[in-house]
Amino acid sequence: MLTDSIAKLKNEKIRITPQRLAVLEYLVESDTHPTADEIYQALVDRFPNMSAATVYNNLHLFMKVGFVKELTYGDASSRFDFTNTQHYHAICEECGDVVDLYYPVLDDVEMVAQSLIGFEVTHHRMEVYGICPNCQEKRNTQQAQ
C-alpha cells in the first residue's frame, strides 16, 4: 500500500519529503483513524521543526490525490482514514473509537439508487453507532461494583 501511494504521488509530480513520507507511513500503519493532532504528536519527536500545519497540508494533499478520507462525526476533530477499499465505520458513542466495517453487500446501494430512482451516485457513506466492547466491559465492571 505504501509503495503504491508513493508511486501515485510521484505520478502526480508531488515531491516525497521526509515529513510527507512519515505522515503517509503513519496513516498506512494506523488502524485507529487518527486526528491530525494525534499524527503531529506521534511525529514531532522525529521532526522537531515540523508544524501542525505541515500535517494538515499533507492530509489535504492526500485527500486530493484520493487515498485518504476525512471522517467527520459531529465532534470537534476530524479523523483521517487511509483507504484503498470501500468500507464503513462503527463509532463508539462513549470513547469515540472508530472501527472499520467491511460489508461488500452495501456496495449494491449505489446500483440500486441508480436503477430505482435514476440517481447518479458519486459515493456513499455509512456509519454504525453504539458502544464498543471495551466500553461495554467497563460499564459492566462499574455496575458490578
Decide yes or no: CATH 3.30.499.10 for domain 85-145. no
Which three cell numbers, joined as nine digits, stand for 1? Answer: 500500500
Please give the model's pTM, rounded to 2 decimal places. Answer: 0.71
Mean pLDDT of 24-30: 92
Instruction: Indicate the fold that domain 1-83 takes in CATH.
Output: Arc Repressor Mutant, subunit A (1.10.10)
The number of C-alpha atoms within 13 Å of 73 and in the hemisphere containing its C-beta is 18
Residues 34-69 have pLDDT tens digits of 999 999 999 999 999 999 999 999 999 999 998 888
Domain ranges of the chain: 1-83, 85-145
Place of cell 458490578: 144
Same fold, 1-83 and 85-145: no
Query: What is the C-alpha to C-alpha distance for residues 23 and 32, in angstroms, rounded to an integer?
Result: 14
Query: What is the C-alpha to C-alpha distance for residues 132 and 129, in angstroms, rounded to an integer?
Result: 9
Cβ atoms < 10 Å from Cβ of 88: 15
